[in-house]
Amino acid sequence: MDSDGLGDVLDLSKDRSQNQEQRTDMKNKGVYIYQPAKSGKPSGERPSKRRKVSSTNITKEASETEGFVPLLNGDENPECVQLRYNTYKQLWAEQEDRIQVILEDVDAGVLKDVSSFVRETSPETSNGCIPTALVTVGSNVSSLSRLLSRLNDQLKSTNEGGVVVLESGDAPNLKTSLKNIIRAAVTNTEGTDGYQRFLTDRTGPRILGYDLDLLHDYVQRRGTKKLVLALRDSEAFDPGLLTDLFSLFKSWLDRIPFTVLLGISTSVEIFEGRLPRACVAMLQGQHFEVQEAGNCVDRIYEALQTSSDGKMWVGRNITSTLFEKASDYFQTPEAFSRMVKYACMSHFFANPLAVLLGNPDPSILNQNRFCEAIRNLPSFRMFCEDLLEVGSANEARSMIEDDDYLLRAAFDHVNAGQEIMRRIFSAVLLIHTCLQHTQASKKTPVSDISVRALSGELSESPLVEDMLTTLKTLDSEKLGDVLITLPTLAEGSPLTDIQADLKTLLETNSDSLPLRSEYNVNSSVVKTTVVQQRVLLTKGKANLREQDIEYTRIIDRLVSALQVHFAETLIRPQELFMHEAFLFDLRNPLKETFTPRPRFAIERALTSPFDYLMSTITPDAKISAKQPAAAILYQLYLESGALVNVHDLWQAFYGVYQRDENNKCDDRVVMALFYGALSDLKMFGMVKNSRKKTDHLAKSSWMGM
Amino acid sequence: MKRKLSDSGLENDHPAGSTPKRARTTQPQPNGALNGHAPNQSPPNGNVTYELPPSQSTPKKSNGISTPSLKESGLKTPTHKSKARNLFATPTKPKTPAAGTPSRLKKADQSAKKKSARVLFEQDEDAEWDGSEQLAAEILQDDEPEPEKTTGSIVESVEEGDAEKGKAKDAKAPKRRAGRPKGAKNKRSPTPEGELPAHERYFFQNRAGTGKTSNTTLNKVPLLTHEEYFEKLGQYVDPCKEEKEYLLSLHHRSFSQWQFEFEEGYNICLFGYGSKRKLVQNFADWLYHHSSTENPPIVIVNGYTPGISIRSIFAMIATALLGDDLPSKLGAQPTEVLELLQSALNNRPIEDGPITVLINSVDAPPLRRAANQALLARLAATPRIRLLVTADTPNFTVMWDISLRDQFNLVFHDGTTFTPFAVEADVVEEVNSLLGRKGQRAGGKDGVGFVLKSLPENARNLYRLLLTEVITIMDDGHQSDDEGGADGNKSAEEHGIEFRLLYQKATEEFIASSEMMFRTLLKEFHDHQMITSRMDPSGMEILGIPLSRDEMEGVLEDLVLG
């Protein structure tokens, strides 16, 4: 007699008891299609409508702008809303293209390798084993799906075959995996209907869905040359199942041209170690490595921020948040760009000034309100104070009083500010290029330089000082390299002159190259003198050749030109008037939206519920009956030890109500509340039944840990 | 050597109260091996040489003594042990913690937990940290004018639950209020005053020697039935009703933002305390009325529904999408339905707009499994599917690894509503299971009796047999178990009869002639939740009855008499 049998019998899913409370069907239905309430306005309508009191054609507009609502207390003109939306769409479409280019570029290398591997290998070239591509993806998990879909497109377009992606979830056992593989292979080219037809329109005996004969038939009909089976998360597959699959494939290899592609997130050695030898022996493979995500993320950031026609930038706080997240967690490049996109969305969604980026016609602005908004900006105040300091009180006055004047100034400053931002980032790029030459080992990424630039610290930072010092010591050959790669500075910069001078100097002294400046190590001599048994080291300049002195002069000019340039361009963007319009730097919506702290939120709701429930009642005690029951119980729970006596807990809970309500409370009602609160705590995994003592609970979570 | 020896002696000198298992675990390992004494032969004066650091009372010992009597008279009461200590104290003993038994001390040093506990102790006035003394001091301060009352109230706070709870509330209350100025405070609080960092609090609450909870049980407190729970809950007037509605209206303001996020390809996750079902419903209303297309398809999923399957969700989405064009045969695998869905979405004309799926409680047990989440992630990654999920538990994010997170493409919003989880959780059931009183929901004794009446003779006989056996086993268990769970309330489910044994007895009594029949009978019981089954450590199936002993006897009586 087996007890398992009974287990089966007894282990039926326990039906929930029918609750006595009257409930509508909807609550108990697992899944249903929404049907609007028959009569009346939905309750959700009212609050949102309250906000847009003034605008008349709400519904029409909402559909056009997809969720953009009029700002400025609802007084924003519909045209402005529309313009904000359009500007956002246009701006992000450009950025999105840039990102796509980078992603494709990053993948291009490994895609080329993999596709040529797929094309060139065959069972013959791999000693009768299944040709296998082992792709290690590391943290860049999403790259593999991109790679696979592009490989699939390539193979499909040339009619060579296709890629079948199998995930560990699709492969619970051999039959199902085979069935899934076959279906995916056929659907890939024929579509779902094609698969059904393929199954039914057959002569001869009906073949079951997992029979590889089906696939064989399909391969023959289509003339498929390559059928790539990609396991995205190879580590998650059952090794036994893999062995079975591969041995099947191997025996069909003469009829079906399989190539296996394994996505590995650990390392090839670890993966191989998990497989049985017999399984490994059936594969012959090559190892491919996908570029790490970090590098990719940096390039995306660079492309987004430093483009020469940028209109809007993300500020320092966001940059550091973004890169904190990218380095602290594994993050795919897509996830990174989504975060940037969200920052951009937030800017256009919630900032009425963002409309200025769309070069609006001043007439569509609701001038009154808009100017009021501008006058409330911190940067406006700063600007006016500066005006007063330099003595132009009249200008300040008209800024404050004259709407037209203010608007014109605002437009001008937005344009000027954007120009300054572009210059800042071109300086960042310049520094980045120089660093490529001066930094020997560790290269500072663009993001680091940008963070410093965005906080206005770059021109005085040790990074730049070090760079300039190293630049001085370069000999003429290396300097030549640097100058060639440097992006041209702004018009009329002395850089071109310097370049020309250097060229003539080199030409005249072509026999004594390389030239060294006086700052070079080789140009200084260390003198050692012994004075009273102590060694004194004195550095002195070696006698410089004339051309070296000339070269030193050129170097000095270059360095001072760079210094001047940096000092001019690298200003604090936060000091620009109207920077709020084109610089988005609020850390919060982004951080909270992408790295939520749900546990903290729940703990906060329970420990200080009035943070959420803006109550008019000021509670006198820390715990009061005015709070929700779960909050009361949770606070009592926090005070208790690792083991909680339920009866005492109930007494304490009841005591809270009794004290506050002057004994007018019904203890059974309180008991019902106690039940609800206790069940909440259980649901949150904070308590569990303890076996140590009767009617005791074990505490299983500690706040703040 | 001597000290080590004494150590083991002490461990065995335990009062009977602590469980044998505990004692075993606390025994220092080297002892037995080193001195060759059988532990229980250790000399009676073992206690004498043993000295605890004053502040570091060992858990198990104090546990044993902490009977109510101790509490009443305060900590000063000289127990057997402390008396012994005073009598035989050697000069070296009464010193700082450093004077403790070397081996023990070394161990304590090794344990980070104890170390940090000791830091706590040293920082402050040593004894004040001990919950009880602090409590005593507090009471003395608070109630200086009426000292007699204080002592009375402490006793009462322990006793009242047993004796007086549930009746004559009004008469008793004033007295209690005078004695207990702060409802919660008089419970001996194991939490020290002041703000502790989270980790220190953890170690403090888990420190050795804090097992001191009172022995009161809920026996005298009548628990709620489903009917009463809902009836009483209906009488409650929520003092925060307005605030909660205001909070909800604040969330409503975000609807347009959420729609924009949907539009830009993000999926949304709402978290925070409270049921978000209503919020989701309102959002669905809002979406419906603000949509640019007629009748936008919106599918709502209640993840907490027991037995809900991913396939049914996918199938419903497909129905919403295809309407009458839905193929009659969808396929049994969720993946098949998903693929059908995806191809249908690809063929959907672009002006028809996307399909919105709103999932309540995505972290509820039925959907929590990794395989389900992976499927949902694939649904979320499908273009033109907009997914909003709500999550109730604090640690739901651990359901998703990096690749799932990537596929879900979620933005998170705090959706705290404070609405009770009325539908999501079966409150009474949850609490009963938490208290180890599962069966009470089946209607207890009456319910079982009612079911039995409707069953055939054979089934009644089998149940009678089962009852008799279980009660016999319980009786046996009590005699052998000297630690007297005196209330007889030691969860009845823990006692049970082995499946095979019961079958044997049933065949002997001609109740069931075949195993098949036997199982059919058991299944009937199981359907009505009149029996429980569990595996014991050796892998045998143990059948039990989810009733308290009194109830079992009552049912048995009815069965025999009826």
What is the percent of chain B where pLDDT is above 90? 9
Whether residues B33 and B148 share a domain: the answer is no
pLDDT for res A210 = 84
Q: Are residues B105 and B141 in the same domain?
A: no
In 3D space, the residue among B387, B390, B380, B386 whose CA is nearest the CA of residue B415 turns out to be B390
What DSSP letter does each residue of B481-537 carry, written as one string? -TT--TTS-S-GGG--EEHHHHHHHHHHTTS-SSHHHHHHHHHHHHHTT--EEEE-T
Whether B543 and B496 have beta carbons less than 8 Å apart is answered as yes
C-alpha A2, offset from chain centre: 54
Same domain, residue pair B197 and B271: no
Contact A192 B343 (CB under 8 A): yes
Classify each residue of A134-151 as buried b or exposed e, where b means 16 or more C-beta atoms within 10 Å of its C-beta. Answer: bbbbbbbbbbbbbbbebb
Q: What does chain B come to in residues? A: 562
- We report the CATH number of the domain holding residue B403 as 3.40.50.300
Sign, CA dihedral A223-A228-A229-A232, equals negative
**Strand partners for A226:** A161
- The answer to whether A244 and A177 are in contact (CB under 8 A) is no
Q: What are phi and psi of B116, to 5 degrees?
A: -70, -30
Q: Determine the distance from the C-alpha atom of residue B321 to the mean position of all C-alpha atoms in its chain, rounded to a whole number.
A: 42
Residue B90: Cβ within 10 Å count: 9
Asked if B239's CB is within 8 angstroms of A33's CB, the reply is no
CA distance A601 to chain B (A): 6
Domain boundary among B168, B199, B216: B216
Q: What percent of chain A has pLDDT over 70?
A: 83
Note which residues in 332-351 of chain A have CB less than 8 A from chain B. Answer: 332, 334-335, 338, 341-342, 345, 349
B358 domain-assigned: yes
3 state DSSP class of A34: coil
**What pLDDT shows up at residue B125?**
44
In this structure, is residue B420 part of a structural domain? no
The pLDDT of A201-226, averaged and rounded, is: 82
Judge if B255 and B390 occupy the same domain: yes
Q: Produce one character per residue of B21-34: b if its CB has 16 or more CB atoms within 10 Å, e if not.
A: ebbeebbeeebeee
Chain A residue with minimal CA distance to B529?
A14
What is the arithmetic mean of pLDDT over A551-576? 83
Which residue in B301, B420, B435 is closest to A676 by CB distance? B420
For residue A113, the 8-state DSSP code is H
- Examine residue B480 and state whether it is found in any structural domain, yes or no: yes
Q: Which residues of B touch A685 (CB under 8 A)?
A: 393-395
Q: How confident is the model at residue A122, as a pLDDT?
A: 76
Q: What integer best gives the mean pLDDT of chain B?
A: 69
For B368-410, the pLDDT digits (tens) are 888 889 899 989 988 889 999 999 999 898 898 888 888 899 9
In which residue are the tokens 């539908």 written?
B423
Residues 6+ apart with CB under 8 A from A133: A114, A117, A118, A259, A260, A261, A262, A285, A286, A288
Is the predicted pLDDT of residue A140 greater than 50, yes or no?
yes
pLDDT of residue A493: 63
Mean pLDDT along residues B120-126: 49
Task: List phi, psi (to 5°) of A577.
Answer: -70, 135
On the 0-12 / 13-18 / 19+ scale of CB atoms within 10 A, A581 is buried
Number of domains in chain B: 4
CB A594 within 8 Å of CB B412 = yes
Which of the residue ranges A161-170, B138-147, B232-241 would you say has the lowest mean pLDDT? Answer: B138-147
Distance CA(A121)–CA(B435), nearest Å, equals 65
Where along chain A do the CATH 3.40.50.300 domains lie? 121-291
ipTM for this model:
0.81
Among A10, A329, A615, A623, which would you mutate to test the B interface (most chain B Cβ atoms within 10 Å of its Cβ)? A10
- Tell me, yes or no, whether B327 lies in a domain: yes
Q: What is the model's pLDDT at position B386? A: 92
Beta strands in A66-214 (DSSP E): 130-136, 161-166
pLDDT digit string (tens) for B436-446? 765 544 556 67
CA A137 to chain centre: 18
pLDDT at B186: 42
Task: Find which of B67, B382, B431, B438 to mutate to test the A interface (most A CBs within 10 Å of its CB).
Answer: B431
- Same domain? B284 vs B355: yes
Q: What is the mean pLDDT of residues B355-367?
A: 90
- Range of A58-62, A660-664, B210-214, B391-395 with top mean pLDDT: B391-395
B373 & B264 share domain: yes
Count the alpha carbons within 13 Å of B225 in the hemisphere toward its beta carbon: 12
Residues of each domain in chain A carrying CATH 1.10.10: 598-699
Looking only at the bridges linking them, the beta strands covering B541-544 and B532-535 are: antiparallel
The dihedrals phi and psi of A580, each to the nearest 5 degrees, come to -60, -25
Q: End-to-end alpha-carbon separation of chain B, Å?
A: 68
DSSP B469-497: HHHHHHHHHHHH-TT--TTS-S-GGG--E
CB A296 within 8 A of CB A106: yes
Q: Given this model, what pLDDT does residue B289 score?
A: 86
Question: Among candidates A193, A273, A248, A258, which has minimal Cα distance to A226?
Answer: A258
Please tell me the distance from the alpha carbon of residue B240 to that of residue A698, in angstroms, as a whole number: 30
The CATH number corresponding to A121-291 among 3.40.50.300, 1.10.150.120, 3.40.50.80, 3.10.580.10 equals 3.40.50.300
Nearest in space to B425 (alpha carbons), one of B306, B254, B267, B547 = B306
Per the structure block, which two tokens stand in for A684? 């949150």
Q: Is residue B264 a contact partner of residue A341, using CB atoms and an 8 Å limit?
A: yes
Identify the helix (H) or strand (E) that includes residue B49: helix B46-49
Q: How far is it, in rounded angstroms, from Cα A594 to Cα A614?
A: 26
Out of B313, B375, B395, closest to residue A599 by CB: B395
Here the tokens at position A527 are: 């003198």
Higher pLDDT, B327 or A426: A426
CA B328 to chain centre: 45
B200 and B317 together in one domain: no
**Tens digits of per-residue pLDDT, A333-355?**
888 888 889 999 998 888 888 88
Look at residue B299 in the predicted model and tell me its pLDDT: 92
Q: Is B238 helix (H, G, I), strand (E, B) or coil?
A: coil
Distances (CA, A) of A612 to A609, A627, A703, B80: 6, 11, 18, 53
Residues of B in contact with A39 (CB under 8 A): none
The total of other beta-carbon atoms located within 10 Å of residue A377's CB is 17
How crowded is the C-beta side of B489, counted as CA atoms within 13 Å? 16
Is B124 among the domain residues? no
Q: How far apart are CA B503 and CA B518, in angstroms?
A: 7
Residues with Cβ within 8 Å of residue B390, at least 6 apart in sequence: B269, B270, B271, B276, B277, B279, B280, B359, B360, B361, B362, B415
Q: Are residues B390 and B477 located together in one domain of the fold?
A: no
The band of B435, judged by pLDDT with boundaries at 50, 70 and 90, is: confident
N-terminal to C-terminal alpha carbon distance within chain A: 49
**pLDDT higher than 60, residue A588:** yes
User: Mean pLDDT in chain A?
Assistant: 79
Q: Specify burial of residue A531 (Cβ count, 10 A radius: 0-12, 13-18, 19+).
A: exposed
Look at residue B116 and tell me whether its pLDDT is greater than 70: no
3-state class (DSSP) for residue A16: coil
Chain B CB within 8 Å of residue A19 CB: yes
Q: Is the Cβ pair A62, B256 closer than 8 Å?
A: yes
What torsion do the CA atoms of A390, A391, A393, A398 make, to the nearest 10 degrees?
A: -50
State which amino acid sits at residue A133: A
> Is B267 a residue whose pLDDT tops 90?
yes
- Chain A residues inside the 8 Å CB shell of B298: 33-34
Mean pLDDT within A409-425: 88
Q: Specify the CATH number of the domain A598-699.
A: 1.10.10
Q: Which residues constitute the domain of residue B63?
A: 2-110
- List, as one string, the DSSP characters of A512-542: GPSP--TTSGGGEEEEEEEETTEEEEEEEEP
A692 vs A462: which has the higher pLDDT: A462
pLDDT number for residue A333? 83
CA distance to partner chain B, nearest, from residue A622 (Å):
11
- Residue written as token pair 């796509």: A100
pLDDT at A382 > cutoff 50: yes
Task: Rounding to the nearest 10 degrees, give the CA dihedral for residues B161, B163, B165, B170.
Answer: -120
Residues B282 and B394 in one domain: yes
A92 and A357 in contact (C-beta within 8 Å)? no
Q: How far is CA A268 from the centre of its chain?
A: 28
Contact residues on chain B for A1, CB-CB shorter than 8 A = 499-500, 503, 515
Could A593 and B423 be called an inter-chain contact, meaning their C-beta atoms sit closer than 8 Å?
no
> CB count, 10 Å around CB of B557?
11
Can you give the length of chain A in residues? 705
CATH code for position B513: 1.10.10
- Determine whether the interchain pair B214/A645 forms a contact, defined as Cβ–Cβ distance below 8 Å: yes
CB B444 within 8 A of CB B428: no
pLDDT value, residue B150: 39
Side-chain half-sphere of A399: how many Cα atoms within 13 Å?
26
Axis-axis angle for helices A403-438, A546-569 (nearest 10): 140
Nearest-angstrom CA–CA distance, A355 and A358: 6
Two structure tokens written together for B508: 């002997």
Q: Is the pLDDT of residue B269 over 90?
A: yes
Q: Parallel, antiparallel, or unpaired for β B267-271 and A226-231?
A: unpaired
pLDDT digits (tens, 9 = 90+) for B296-352: 889 999 988 888 889 999 989 988 888 777 777 777 778 888 888 888 888 888 778
Peptide bond into A514 cis (omega under 30): yes
**Alpha-carbon torsion (B184, B189, B195, B200), positive or negative:** negative
d(CA A112, CA A114): 6
What stretches of B272-346 adopt beta strand conformation (E)?
298-302
B23 phi, psi to nearest 5 deg: -60, -40
Smallest CA-to-CA distance from A345 within B263, B390, B413 is with B263
In a domain, B313, yes or no: yes
CA atoms of A471 and A519, how far apart (whole Å)? 9
Which pLDDT does position A17 carry in this prediction? 33
Concatenated DSSP letters of B79-106: -HHHHHHHHH--TTSSS-GGGS-HHHHH
- B177 within 8 A of A659, measured Cβ to Cβ: yes
Q: What does the H/E/C string look like for A638-667? A: HHCCCEEEHHHHHHHHHHHHHHHCCCCCCH
